[in-house]
Structure 1
Amino acid sequence: MAIRKLLLPLTGTAAGEAALSTALITARMWNAHVTALHVRVDSRDVAPLAGEGLSGAMIEEMMSATEKESSDRAHAVRAMFDRFVAEHDVPVAEPRHSVGHATASFAAVTGREEDLVAQQARLADLTIVPHPEAGEDVSSSDALHAVLFDSGRPVLIAPHTTPEKIATRICVAWNGTAESAAAVLGALPWMQRAEAVRVISAEEYQRRGPAAPDLAEYLALHGVTVELATFRPIDRDVGAGLLKAAYDFGADLLAMGAYSHSRLRQLILGGVTRHVLEHAKLPVMMNR
């Protein structure tokens, strides 16, 4: 399946430009359209605080401050988008007019980010999410988890810095789960175009399900020749071993399933998904 529509939720500018660059590289690979989506906070969400003992004047002041902050952020994100597309000579057009070349458009809506991003992502071939801000707990990345859990579509986490290229050398992290199978399906069009594909697996990572050789046989039916490799945890950390294996291969895309264990368990105990989200320095495509 060709990639034709990319969704790029932008909530701030710190990691936004690297995500825009990642989206542009992807759009030019596939002659796709990028919809940059900014969700403004609704100041009316402050109103429920009325039951918390705050006076009407205090709530009105909080709503006014929220509205100003939301407006300032929206203007900053839009200015970044306008500057970026001008500097990189990206045509701005509506999606229906975007055929045969990379284009972009900007949309701003008001509401709950996690709800609106997940809804919009359901009709996007891929959602590209900026890397969590420096120092931010990855568990609080609402847009990322909304797409993973509520869209049914793949998500690409952009690295902190703009990659030189994407998906010429692909690593697929395989553990036999439904989540990793979904990741394979999402990455299949990319693997069919890649120069090299390596499937990496580990005894400590494997769950009940098909093994890596079974995946290689399946991919061969789709015209994808892969090499198989195993990795070992580093200091008992499976995620660290997985990333090292991807770096050793020189991968410029890692495809993997997300949250094979429950998200709550991963938030409390850590896990492979969390480690990769926090530490990956390459584009990572995840499915759940």
Structure 2
Amino acid sequence: MAIRKILLPLAGVASARGALSTALMLAGRWGAHVHAFHVRTDTRDVAPLAGEGLSGAMIEEMMASTEKEGHSEARALAALFEAETGARGIAVGAPVRAADGAVRASSARFESVIGREEELVAGEARLSDLIVVPHPKSAEEVASADALHAVLFDSGRPALIAPAGVPETIGARIAIAWNGTAESASAVASVLPWLAEAEQVRIFHSEDYQRQGPGADRLAGFLELHGIAAEIAAFRAIDRSVGAGLLAAVTEYGADLLAMGAYSHSRLRQLILGGVTRHVLEHATTAVLMNR
């Protein structure tokens, strides 16, 4: 299945640059439409703070400040969007087709709305082929991580965590982290369009990472049915960290895209005890395609 619509949740300019460059680069590759989506805080959400001892005047001041900041951020993001699309020659507006009408040309639009980011992003994501999310550590905005979790837990769609910088390529050398789970199978299904065009594909597995389910050799056989030749490589945990071992192996391989399942254990358990997903989110320098 080709990628035709890319959702790009944007929280602020600092975290937007790498993700916007990534999304527009992919739009040019796939002939896709990018929906850059900015959610401003609803000032009415500030009102409940009145119950915590704040006066009416203080609440009104907070609401006015929140609204002002939201409009300022929206204008800055719109300017960045206009500059990046212009530099890449990508049409701005509704999705378009090429002159012959047979191939969809890349296009993009920017939208800023008011509401709760987690709810709105999850809803928009459900009718998108791919969601490009800013790297959680690329800026101070916590919202970039909130958008990622909204996609992973409440959309049923794949999330591509963009590198903090501007990548030269994505999808030429693909690494697949396989552990036999439903989450990793979902990631493989989402990355199939990329695998068909990749120069090289390698499946990474480990005894420390494997769960109950088919092994890496069976995944290689499945991919072969799709005309995809994949190498198989084992990796080891580093200092008892499976995530560190995986990223070290992926980096040595020179991958520009890692596909993996997310949160095989509960998110709460990973937040408290750590886990592969958490480690990858915090330390990956390459693009990561995640599914849950």
Q: TM-score range by the shorter chain?
A: over 0.9
* Residue from 150, 156, 159 that aligns with 1:155: 159
Does residue 261 of structure 1 match 2:274?
no
Match of 2:50?
50
Which letter does structure 2 place at the counterpart of 1:19?
Answer: A
Distance 2:206 2:124 in 1: 35
Structure 2, unaligned runs of 5 or more = none
Contact persistence 1:156–1:285 (CA under 8 A) = yes
Distance 1:139 1:17 in 2: 15
Contact persistence 2:95–2:106 (CA under 8 A) = no
Distance 2:142 2:249 in 1: 22
* Residue from 185, 204, 207 that aligns with 1:203: 207
Deviation track 1:13-49 (CA, whole Å, cap 9, x = no partner) reads 1121111111112111111111100111111100112
Distance 2:35 2:60 in 1: 34
Contact persistence 2:35–2:110 (CA under 8 A) = yes
The range that moved more, 11-20 or 164-173, is 11-20
Deviation track 1:234-254 (CA, whole Å, cap 9, x = no partner) reads 111111111111111111100
Indicate the RMSD between aligned Cα atoms, in angstroms.
Answer: 1.6
Match of 2:91?
91
3-state DSSP of counterpart to 2:82: helix
Match of 2:59?
59
Match of 1:7?
7
Distance 2:93 2:143 in 1: 34
Deviation track 1:242-284 (CA, whole Å, cap 9, x = no partner) reads 1111111111100000000100000001110011111111110
Distance 1:19 1:173 in 2: 22
**1:84–1:28: structure 2 CA closer, same or farther, 3 Å change rule?**
same
Contact persistence 1:14–1:133 (CA under 8 A) = no
Offset of residue 100 of structure 1:
2.1
**1:135–1:123: structure 2 CA closer, same or farther, 3 Å change rule?**
closer
Distance 1:137 1:57 in 2: 27
3-state DSSP of counterpart to 2:23: helix
Distance 1:159 1:220 in 2: 29
The range that moved more, 14-23 or 147-156, is 14-23
Distance 2:56 2:21 in 1: 44
Distance 1:137 1:62 in 2: 19
Does residue 146 of structure 1 match 2:154?
no
What TM-score, normalized to structure 2?
0.95
Distance 2:291 2:267 in 1: 13
Distance 1:236 1:219 in 2: 30
Offset of residue 136 of structure 1:
4.8
Match of 2:289?
285
Which letter does structure 1 place at the counterpart of 2:126?
Answer: R
Match of 1:176?
180
Match of 2:26?
26
Match of 1:100?
104
What TM-score, normalized to structure 1?
0.96
Offset of residue 50 of structure 1:
2.1
Which letter does structure 1 place at the counterpart of 2:264?
Answer: S
Does residue 230 of structure 1 match 2:234?
yes
Contact persistence 1:139–1:267 (CA under 8 A) = no
| Percentage identity across paired residues of the two chains | 63
Distance 1:83 1:115 in 2: 29
Aligned length: 288
